[in-house]
Structure 1
């Protein structure tokens, strides 16, 4: 049975961020993920998680100035020092709550810039980060994010490019974050894709399409996909990175067999 993790950046937004942890635990979630915990002091973050009874399974490295349009900076040739300094914060937060996975967002390629140079920078920064976590129980994840709807100009928007980058880094610490919603938009053929990539997948996320709402609101057949993950042998977490169509608890009927 897939293990579901509530994404607190998108779910339970009826509540302040610090209060969403307890709400997720009360709803039955045993895992929690979020985009970025950095708005909370480390001790507040740790206390909120402990109060939930759940464990933190994933969050992102600092993505830059999200409000100003940043969507990561690890591939930006002009921000190498900034990324590497910010990685210290990611490690400090991960250590405080024993989080075993950090998503390293590549960023949006500026118009007219050399994509190959951005890819080279991403590889170098991932290699640096992999060395930093070599002795830690922490994996680094890279996620193809759709560039058609949600993040135009996002560098890593397809699984083949993600796998090329993982191969170039050459570290077992760098794995694939497979988001079903993003890959439905960009590639389709979901179960064959998951089966082919499964040895490299360190985390899966879901949302329906279109709309990025909860399963059952769109075209993706989650009643087939979620049981299939068991058949394929996936034993990791599935992050619920969706925007509830209404109130969060009212939209959890689809998950009653999993939490």
Structure 2
């Protein structure tokens, strides 16, 4: 699933009522009992628990809290109305929850690539950074995802890398005074994408030299692109500021694919990581049954102590 499709599906799920919503709202059904928090700070997204909580994202956030989750993430946050952003921020503050990443709007992942070094593309990116600062303040967010775009095939890779570093430095100058960190995410959606590997992203962060430019290590994408997950994370750890989850193949919850998530979570906990782990994946099964299976999967993977 491409990022643009993932964002669209997450928002649509959040806006569409699930089959069991009316019964729950009428009080004829009961939601699962409140649960304790997890060892690590996992963050669901809009629509992930719509069958239990209904169409309203605020109600979904309350349900997530009841199930022990203490963060959310919302890739499409910048596309929501200011009113909705403020409502999300208020709900998180009242429940003591944290906002994870949202995606900086830079005119598309492939188009407007920063690797080209073109002024019009960089201007779109910088405008997105300025708008991201305002959005972040409404929800008390600390991280925002940035994807540089596709390769610029007409330029040598070194020139492309230099163009990306220069653009990101300018973006960091906007974000840094506000404590907002852009997290660069290497992806596996298509080989046309410029940013695909952890070591490459580590190099770019070193080149930008800003506390507002770090790595988003998405375990699903990195398993597809390079594997050797724990060893690679260890080598890049000093620049990793955010982590996302998804099993492979299928991009569903832990336990549905080949990745040993209990072992990876043990490693992450052992590093003293106190940040957010975004649940950027789908549900393996539909409806309430699928949502309960997802929660159970996280409970089991979280049993590493």
Give secondary structure in 2 for the equivalent of 1:141. strand
Are 1:86 and 2:128 an aligned pair? yes
Q: Higher helix proportion, which one?
A: 2
Give 1:114 deviation, angstroms: 4.7
Which of 187, 199, 220 is the matching residue for 1:160?
199
Q: Give, in whole Å, the separation in 2 of the partners of 1:71 and 1:253.
A: 39
Pick aligned residue for 1:56 from 99, 117, 131: 99
- Contact 2:44/2:72 (8 A) holds in 1: yes
- Structure with greater Cα Rg: 2
Change (3 A) 1:16 1:49: farther
The 5 A counterparts of 1:84-163 are 84-109=126-151, 112=154, 114-146=156-188, 150-163=189-202
> Is 1:4–2:47 an aligned residue pair?
no
Tell me the SS of whatever aligns to 2:244. strand
Identify unmatched segments of 5+ residues in structure 1: none
Query: Tell me, which stretches of 5 or more residues in structure 2 are unaligned?
Result: 1-38
TM-score (norm 1): 0.86
Matching residue within 241, 245, 260 for 1:206: 245
Distance in 1 (CA, whole Å) between partners of 2:111 and 2:55 is 23
Residues 71 and 56 (structure 1 numbering): CA distance in 2 closer, same or farther, change over 3 Å?
Answer: farther
RMSD across aligned positions (CA)? 2.5
- Equivalent residue number for residue 229 of structure 1: 268
Shift of 1:37: 0.7
- Corresponding residue of 1:238: 277
* Matching of residue 46 in structure 1 with residue 46 in structure 2: no
- TM-score in terms of structure 2 length: 0.74
Cα distance, 1:177 vs. partner?
1.0
**Deviation larger for 153-162 or 10-19:** 10-19
Q: Contact 1:62–1:72 (CA<8 Å) still a contact in 2? A: no
SS in 1 for 2:217: strand
Structure 1 residue 253 corresponds to structure 2 residue 262: no
- Higher strand proportion (structure 1 or 2): 1
Count of aligned residue pairs for this structure pair: 252
